[in-house]
Amino acid sequence: MGQWDRFLQPYKQAVDELKIKLKGIRAQFEKSNTTSPIEFVTGRVKPLASIYDKTLEKGLVFEPSDTLAHELQDIAGVRIMCQFVDDIPTVIELLRQRNDLHIIEEKDYITNVKNSGYRSYHMIIEYPVGTIQGEKTILAEIQIRTLAMNFWASIEHSLNYKYKGIFPEEIKKRLQNAAEAAFKLDEEMSEIREEIREAQAYFTEYKEASKPKVRQDHLKGARENL
C-alpha cells in the first residue's frame, strides 16, 4: 500500500461509517412510522487530483502530512439530502446531539447565501476512527441541503471546472437566477409539505399492499376470520 493509500484509508473508513450511521437515522424514523428528515446520504473521499489543486491554492506541499490533514478539512465528505428546507434544522439538531462526533465549525450558506447563489449548510467535524494502530481522529465535512440546492450545486460545480472559476457574465447571471428559482421551488414545496407527505405515505402503503405476499397474507387473514 502506497503512502497516499495509507493516508486516505482512515478517511474512507470515516465516510463509510458516517454513511451507515446517517442512513440508520433514516431507518429509525421509518420503523417508528415517522417521516424522516433525511431523504438520502452520499459520501466520498476527495480524489488526489482535487487534493493537489487544493494544495496549490493554499500553498501546501502535496504530500501526506499532519499539516495537510489539518488544512484540508473536506478530504472526507458526506452529503445529507433533505426533501424540504424545513428538514435541514431538524438534521442539524440531530447531529449536534450525537456523541460519536464533535462539531468544530458550522457555516450557514442558506441564510447567508454566497454571491454565486450557492446554498447549503456545512459542518466541519472531528470523527474518531479505530485503526490497527489505535484511534485516529480526522476532520470531515458534512453538507446538508435540499434536492433542489444539490441539483444547482452540481451544475455549478461542473461549469466551474469548465470556466476555471471565471464565469462569463451571462452564465453567472443565469446561475444566480437559477439559484433563486431553485430556492423558490423549495419554498413553494414547503407550503404544501403536509399534502406531499400524505401523498407519499399513501403511495408507499399502496405499493406495499400491491406486493403479492402482502395480498396473499391479507387474503389468508381474511379467510381465517370467516
Q: What is the CA radius of gyration of the chain?
A: 22
Q: 167 by DSSP, 3-state: which?
A: coil
Smallest CA-to-CA distance from 24 within 12, 44, 41, 10 is with: 41
pLDDT for 21 equals: 96
Which pLDDT band, with edges at 50, 70 and 90, does 155 fall under? Answer: very high
118: Cα within 13 Å, side-chain hemisphere: 17
| Averaged pLDDT for residues 1-7 | 88
* Model pLDDT for residues 44-82, shown as the tens digit of each residue: 999 999 999 999 999 999 999 999 999 999 999 999 999
Backbone angles phi and psi of 211, in degrees to 5: -70, 135
> Catalytic: which of 93, 141, 169, 191?
141
* Model pLDDT for residues 106-128, shown as the tens digit of each residue: 999 999 999 999 999 999 999 99
Has 106 been annotated as catalytic?
A: no
pLDDT for 184 equals: 92
- Quote the pTM value: 0.84
